[in-house]
Amino acid sequence: MGFFSSLKNDMKSLVSGIFSDKPAPFASKKGERGEAKKATRSLLVKEVIVETPDARTLVLTDPSGAPLDFEAGQFFTLLRKIDGKEVRRAYSASSSASVSTEVRVTVKQIEGGLVSPRLVKELSAGETLEVAGPSGQFTLPKGRKHAVLLGGGSGITPLMSIARTHLALDPELKLDLVFGNRGKEDIIFREELSALVEEHAGRFRVRHVLENADPIASHVGRLDRATVLAELDALESFASATSMFFLCGPVGMMDEAKAALESRGVSASRIKEERFVSPSDSSQGGSEGPEDVEVSVQGDLFTVTVQPGMTILEAAQDAGVEIPFSCTVGGCASCRVKLVAGKVALGEPNCLDPDERKEGYILACVSRPLGPCKVEVE
Ligand SMILES: Cc1cc2nc3c(=O)[nH]c(=O)nc-3n(C[C@H](O)[C@H](O)[C@H](O)COP(=O)(O)OP(=O)(O)OC[C@H]3O[C@@H](n4cnc5c(N)ncnc54)[C@H](O)[C@@H]3O)c2cc1C
Ligand code: FES
């Protein structure tokens, strides 16, 4: 009994036809079953660099020599097989986007996490990783001459890529980084940041906000709303009406930083956010029972059964129905489909803009049906 119930959970919808009176969720289609499209590539882990006791940088290269192009601030999605199930996690590139022979991602171990401890403690040079991407819009708009980067902990990764890339490319660009951490030993890229400040003196300033007192700290405490305001005042000399603000770090820090910027009248168009907690991992709504979703792909109709907790994309992939995808965390819009009937719980945050929402678009990778639905893949 225990064996069967755990097996049933493990196999989720793939075997649900065997264990329940629902039909197996292979897509019922007027036609044949296709293979889910996997826009991934196999990358070699060339090197693993120890950054802090719980953070590692993975240097990834394409063994075929093909370039690894991305924009500074974008992320890649790593796929791992764990206990027979494919899991995906997004990791921002931390390296310069001007170097296309490799991409570096920097992973901080989350205590009790499924994937990050394996990447930090078990992965070694010479192994290969399945990788999708790049994805994301956490990038510096063209022509901006000043940006404030507000980061906390592992949230430094896309900010580091932005600093490494754009300071070298644009001699007129000025960047400020306010970086929150618990202690000095937790600061990822501490020495490299100092070197960048020296290299780009007068154009790149870094202020460390540390919870544990240390001489390098500009402020001792948390990067909360009051501290962000004080730090912005200290950095005022570079500021202009077109300065951009990039926020990446723990949820609480980002909310506080955003509130601080809003209280100063900074418009939403000048604030960019990258949230690391994947909406597809949090159980954001969805039906309590299995729901049928009719998926229309270029005129072909498939019916996919979505089990509780699953996203439409996961169920479609299990059923062999092709919905394009890349990041799987609501960040790239590759899986955008039109909801033509029914209701879904749409994971937040995601990258759909208000107009797309009004027109009925949803992201299959973070959508869970609330009843029978129909969606169209465009
Ligand atoms: C666009 C994007 C870019 C990202 N870039 C990076 C990166 O450059 N470096 C990096 O280390 N991580 C990054 N992440 C986070 C990463 O994808 C994983 O979520 C993280 O490594 C935890 O995965 P896990 O499987 O170990 O934990 P899980 O098993 O998924 O989660 C375990 C628990 O930890 C919570 N949790 C998950 N992530 C975090 C977090 N970051 N902080 C606090 N609690 C968390 C979960 O809600 C859950 O309760 C990024 C996420 C996104 C969406
Ligand atoms: S796959 Fe990127 S938003 Fe869904």
pLDDT average per 10 residues of sequence, the chain (378 residues): 30 27 36 45 97 97 96 94 85 97 98 95 96 89 95 98 98 97 97 98 97 96 96 87 94 94 94 77 74 94 93 90 83 90 89 92 95 95
Sequence-separated (6 or more) residues with CB below 8 Å from residue 331: 75, 90, 135, 136, 137, 350, 351
Q: What is the pairing mode between strands 85-92 and 103-108?
A: unpaired
Cα–Cα distance, 88 to 119 (Å, whole number): 12
**Atom number in ligand 2 closest to CA 328:** 1
**What is the SS3 assignment for 369?**
strand
Gap from CA of 146 to ligand 1 centroid (Å): 29
Cα–Cα distance, 200 to 233 (Å, whole number): 22
Gap from CA of 330 to ligand 2 centroid (Å): 4
Gap from CA of 1 to ligand 1 centroid (Å): 34
pLDDT of residue 34: 36
Gap from CA of 376 to ligand 2 centroid (Å): 15
DSSP state of 23: P
All structural domains of the chain with their residue ranges: 12-36+281-377, 40-135, 146-274
Ligand 1 pocket (Cβ < 6 Å) reads 75, 89-92, 105-108, 110, 112-116, 136, 154, 157, 250, 274, 276-278, 281, 329, 331
Gap from CA of 122 to ligand 1 centroid (Å): 17
Helix axis angle, 225-234 to 251-263, nearest 10° = 60
Cα–Cα distance, 26 to 19 (Å, whole number): 14
Q: What Å distances lie between residue 45 and 85, 98, 105, 204, CA to CA?
A: 21, 19, 11, 31
Token digits of residue 227: 């501290």
pTM: 0.81
Q: What Å distances lie between residue 339 and 284, 304, 360, CA to CA?
A: 18, 14, 6
Question: Where are the strands (E) in the chain, listed by range?
Answer: 28-29, 40-52, 55-61, 75-82, 85-92, 103-108, 128-135, 146-152, 174-181, 204-210, 217-220, 244-248, 271-274, 291-297, 300-306, 336-341, 344-346, 361-363, 367-369, 373-377
pLDDT of residue 330: 83
Using one digit for the tens of pLDDT, what is the confidence trace for 160-198?
A: 999 999 999 999 999 999 999 999 999 999 999 999 999
Residue nearest to atom 3 of ligand 2 (CA): 330
| CATH class name, domain 12-36+281-377 | alpha beta
Gap from CA of 99 to ligand 1 centroid (Å): 26
Q: Which CATH number fits domain 146-274: 3.40.50.80, 3.50.50.60, 1.10.3720.10, 3.40.50.2300?
A: 3.40.50.80
pLDDT of residue 137: 85
pLDDT of residue 287: 87
Ligand 2 pocket (Cβ < 6 Å) reads 135, 325-328, 330-335, 363, 365
**Atom number in ligand 1 closest to CA 118:** 26
DSSP state of 193: H
Residue nearest to atom 20 of ligand 1 (CA): 116
8 burial class (0-12, 13-18, 19+ CB within 10 angstroms)? Answer: middle
What count of other Cβ atoms lies within 10 Å of the Cβ of residue 305? Answer: 23
Gap from CA of 136 to ligand 2 centroid (Å): 9
Cα–Cα distance, 306 to 315 (Å, whole number): 5
Q: Is the dihedral of CA 318, 322, 323, 325 positive or negative?
A: positive
For residues 62 and 41, is the Cβ–Cβ distance under 8 A?
yes
pLDDT of residue 13: 28
CATH T-level assignment (fold) for domain 40-135: Elongation Factor Tu (Ef-tu); domain 3 (2.40.30)
CATH topology of 40-135 equal to that of 146-274?
Answer: no
Cα–Cα distance, 120 to 56 (Å, whole number): 6
Token digits of residue 103: 């991409």
**Atom number in ligand 1 closest to CA 92:** 8
